[in-house]
């Protein structure tokens, strides 16, 4: 785990004040910058030392073979893995011929700060070389939200106590040596040097490299240009080769003199366009960045984020560390999808190669919940990506002898990439998760063009899958057998409650869309008989219930299975999948991540209140949280049924997943779904926000440790702000027509003219449920105080904080 004091606690930034090589890779993920199209890991500017180099383009991948001991019909043959593309971050420095490397000499001061309002990574270092030459180095790095194909770096060097020879090498480097990414030697060989050179050119202070992948046939290019300011005389030389382009700048500086370099980077890729087209796109991006200039790039970044925070900020009083964490979480959630523009949102965003860069159902179920209400354009674009891979999903359904579309469990381009079919192919709930996100986005945005162009088709084709996958039994109930729900410690179960209830919503939404948008529905061949079949299946959907225990079994027969022997499971045997066979896990009552509990959140309209409380207590005793997706959902339902302290513990776990490296794999990228889950835990948990059937309602309650929660969200052309204390909640529209909603079941109308202030009833008194031994969430202790960032880090000039921001 990251020793947390290394990160200073501040409401609007995350900083480190020492260089800890043992957690360098984790810090690189935390400090990663992205706009959803370009991703730059937070590697040091000089390239070394590093934990894991990483520069990514969303959707750019290489094909690799999937290993099987024994293949079978319908098994995916190839996987897809994100590629570390040409690295433009590298700016090497030599001080009197000595490489600037913080592992040598004396590191007198070091600080890096991820600025959540300015959208930049700032760095300041005071270093003395082994030859006792002392220099101060500072940099500011950004990936532009405004200019999608652009990143930029400001790099400054100043000698401190003597005349110093300075050499700076600004580089583009492809096929960087990487640590092994796969145990399969065939895949390792494919990924060792995945880029083949197609072009290299250098002139004046500009250079470009273009490459293509061997197997997937994708083409990408990276370009750089520079602005150089130096108070002394300097010279420069540019050169390029197949995998390296380098601008070398040499100068002699006296104390007080500074070499200042602004490096503009442009990236582009395509699966279809010519080399000339991709080259010209990068040339244009770099030229536009140079024309805009450093200061205006900074200003555009700040303006973009000011608007985001003004609408979507979450404020917490009473826990400084969690205030920082929830803003960090929102920032990374935004980065993952802001400018993805019809590309996937991977599970690790563009912060690292974890999960091979794949997108899962996490995107629709967690990430798009947050983005729909805070950055709706990004949510709509993510769903348009799903529509773009619909033909692959139809093809997969046909291969499985099903109708409609079968969306992949994990993918980059749209093909199923899971070699383990019980968790992959059988996890059909991804179809319903996509449909749920479509319905949520449309209800919140009222984007009818979206429904005509893509939404109706997504709902129709996902509904068709359920109608062919399920069947009516002898009692007339609609069953969906042999599927895998969200809990990956169960597989091939009959009538998984989450799957059935989400499929029910999918079927209803498809029928409603076909009526509301008859032209696209007719073009798809939808008729009255088909919509009637969807409605009938939804009406008769089987939802198992155990009358003896008075709880819902996670799937049919689940509560009759033998319970896992938690008492005799050693603490070091978690996560269980690394120490026990799936066969053993599948036949026992043990839950990897919230499944039935997630159903109660997303389909809370299908459960009685007393059943929710009993279900929650039952599954708390079985859930081991071997997945980062679990804590936020448990936080939401703990808050709803009245366990506010427990909800607070789970909220902290979701929000601090990466800042504290709780899953021990932040090194390969942050957990975007868990970070989005921090927003969900705050807004849906303590804010009590629900959006069933396209209507917002609120049942807010705070845990004792928090004094105030305030959050904003957009809905149907309105921006609403909600403020919660222990005694009352305040609702007010920032913009838009009056909104009909409810507070703890009491109908109300929220307007821009007058604030609605309503009392908060006490939570029901219930005993705190127990968890498996050793799997309890860490109790949230006394929060940390603010720690002001060091004045040694150069600040980025910016306007006043956004309205409503906590100073």
- Tell me the Cα Rg of the chain: 27
Rounded Cα gap, residues 349 and 362, in angstroms:
11
Q: Tokens standing for 628?
A: 């980062």
Which is it for strands 106-115 and 13-16: parallel, antiparallel or unpaired? antiparallel
Helix axes 528-539, 497-516, angle to 10 degrees: 150
3-state secondary structure of 416: coil
| Nearby residues of 236 by Cβ (< 8 Å), 6 or more positions away | 205, 228, 247, 248, 249, 250
Q: How many helices (H) and strands (E) does the chain have?
A: 21, 31
Other Cβ atoms closer than 10 A to 765: 6
Which residue, 608, 610, 596, is CA-closest to 554? 596
Tokens for 542?
């089987």
3-state secondary structure (DSSP) of residue 294: helix
- Residues 680 and 696: their CA atoms lie apart, in Å, by 14
Asked if 713 and 689 touch (Cβ cutoff 8 Å), the reply is yes
Helix (H) or strand (E) holding 296: helix 294-312
| Tokens linked to 775 | 């799997």
Q: Where are the alpha helices (DSSP H) in 446-482?
A: 448-450, 456-469
- Assess whether the previous peptide bond of 569 is cis (omega < 30° from 0): no
Task: Write down the residue that tokens 């996987």 correspond to.
Answer: 79
Strands 588-589, 562-563: pairing is parallel
Count Cβ atoms below 10 Å from residue 199 Cβ, excluding itself. Answer: 17
Active site residues: 488
Give the torsion through C-alpha atoms of 430, 436, 441, 444, to 10 deg.
Answer: -160
Helix, strand or coil for residue 311? helix
């Amino acid at each position: 785990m990251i020793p947390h004091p290394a990160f200073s606690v501040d409401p609007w930034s995350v900083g480190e004040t020492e260089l800890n090589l043992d957690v360098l890779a984790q810090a690189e993920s935390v400090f990663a910058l992205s706009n959803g199209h370009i991703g730059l890991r937070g590697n040091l500017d000089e390239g070394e030392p590093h934990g894991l180099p990483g520069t990514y383009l969303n959707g750019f991948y290489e094909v690799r073979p999937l290993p099987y001991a024994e293949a079978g019909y319908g098994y995916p043959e190839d996987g897809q893995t994100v590629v570390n593309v040409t690295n433009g971050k590298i700016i090497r420095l030599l001080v009197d011929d000595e490489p600037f490397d913080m592992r040598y000499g004396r590191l007198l001061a070091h600080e890096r700060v991820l600025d959540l309002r300015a959208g930049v990574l700032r760095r300041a270092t005071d270093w003395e070389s082994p030859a006792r030459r002392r220099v101060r180095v500072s940099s500011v790095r950004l990936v532009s939200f405004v200019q999608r194909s652009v990143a930029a770096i400001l790099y400054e060097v100043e000698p401190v106590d003597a005349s110093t020879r300075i050499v700076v090498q600004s580089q583009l480097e492809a096929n960087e040596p990487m640590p092994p990414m796969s145990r399969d030697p065939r895949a390792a060989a494919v990924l060792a040097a995945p880029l083949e050179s197609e072009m290299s050119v250098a002139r004046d202070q500009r250079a470009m490299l273009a490459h293509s992948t061997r197997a997937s046939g994708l083409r990408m290019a990276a370009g750089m240009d520079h602005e150089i300011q130096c108070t002394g005389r300097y010279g420069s030389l540019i050169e390029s080769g197949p995998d390296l382009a380098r601008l070398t700048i040499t100068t002699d500086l006296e104390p007080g003199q500074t070499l200042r370099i602004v490096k503009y980077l442009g990236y582009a890729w395509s699966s279809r366009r010519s080399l000339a087209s991709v080259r010209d796109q990068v040339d244009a991006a770099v030229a536009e960045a140079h024309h805009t200039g450093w200061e205006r790039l900074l200003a555009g970044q700040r303006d973009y984020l000011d608007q985001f925070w003004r609408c979507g900020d979450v404020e917490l009083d009473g826990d400084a560390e969690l205030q920082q964490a929830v803003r960090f979480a929102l920032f990374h959630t935004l980065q993952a999808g802001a400018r993805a523009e019809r590309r996937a949102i991977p599970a690790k965003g563009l912060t690292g190669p974890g999960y091979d860069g794949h997108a899962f159902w996490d995107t629709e179920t967690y990430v798009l919940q947050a983005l729909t209400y805070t950055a709706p354009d990004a949510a709509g674009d993510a769903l348009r990506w799903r529509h773009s891979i619909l033909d692959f999903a139809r093809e997969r359904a046909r291969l499985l002898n099903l109708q409609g579309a079968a969306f992949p469990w994990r993918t980059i381009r749209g093909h199923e990439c899971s070699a383990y079919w019980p968790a992959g192919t059988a996890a059909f709930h991804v179809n319903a998760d996509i449909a749920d996100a479509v319905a949520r986005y449309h209800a919140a945005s009222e984007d009818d063009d979206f429904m005509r162009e893509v939404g109706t088709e997504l709902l129709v084709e996902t509904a068709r899958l359920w109608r062919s996958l399920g069947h009516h039994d002898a009692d007339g109930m609609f069953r969906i057998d042999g599927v895998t729900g969200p809990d990956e410690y169960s597989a091939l179960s009959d009538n998984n409650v989450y799957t059935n209830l989400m499929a029910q919503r999918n079927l209803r939404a498809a029928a409603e869309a076909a009526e509301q948008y008859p032209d696209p529905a007719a073009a798809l061949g939808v008729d009255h008989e088909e919509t009637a079949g969807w409605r009938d299946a939804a009406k008769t959907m089987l939802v198992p219930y155990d009358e003896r225990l008075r709880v819902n079994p996670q799937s049919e027969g689940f509560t009759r299975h033998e319970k896992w022997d938690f008492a005799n499971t050693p603490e070091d045997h978690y996560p269980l999948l690394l120490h026990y066979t799936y066969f053993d896990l599948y036949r026992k009552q043990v839950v990897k991540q919230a499944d039935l509990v997630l159903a109660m959140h997303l389909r809370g309209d299908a459960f009685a209140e007393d059943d929710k409380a009993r279900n929650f207590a039952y599954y708390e005793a079985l859930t081991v949280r071997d997945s980062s997706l679990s804590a936020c959902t448990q936080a939401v339902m703990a808050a709803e049924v009245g366990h506010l302290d427990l909800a607070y513990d789970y909220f902290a776990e979701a929000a601090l997943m990466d800042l504290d490296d709780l899953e021990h794999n932040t090194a390969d990228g942050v957990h975007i779904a868990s970070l989005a889950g921090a927003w969900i835990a705050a807004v849906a948990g303590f804010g009590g926000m629900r959006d069933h059937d396209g209507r917002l309602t609120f049942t807010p309650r705070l845990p004792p440790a928090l004094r105030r929660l305030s959050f904003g969200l957009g809905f149907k052309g309105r921006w609403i702000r909600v403020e919660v204390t222990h005694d009352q909640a305040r609702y007010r529209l920032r913009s838009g027509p009056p909104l009909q909603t409810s507070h703890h079941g009491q109908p109300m109308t929220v307007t821009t003219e007058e604030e609605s202030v309503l009392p908060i009833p006490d939570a029901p008194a219930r005993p705190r449920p127990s968890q498996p031994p050793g799997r309890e969430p860490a109790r949230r202790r006394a929060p940390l105080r603010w720690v002001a960032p060091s004045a040694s880090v150069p600040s980025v000039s910016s306007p006043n904080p956004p309205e409503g921001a906590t100073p």
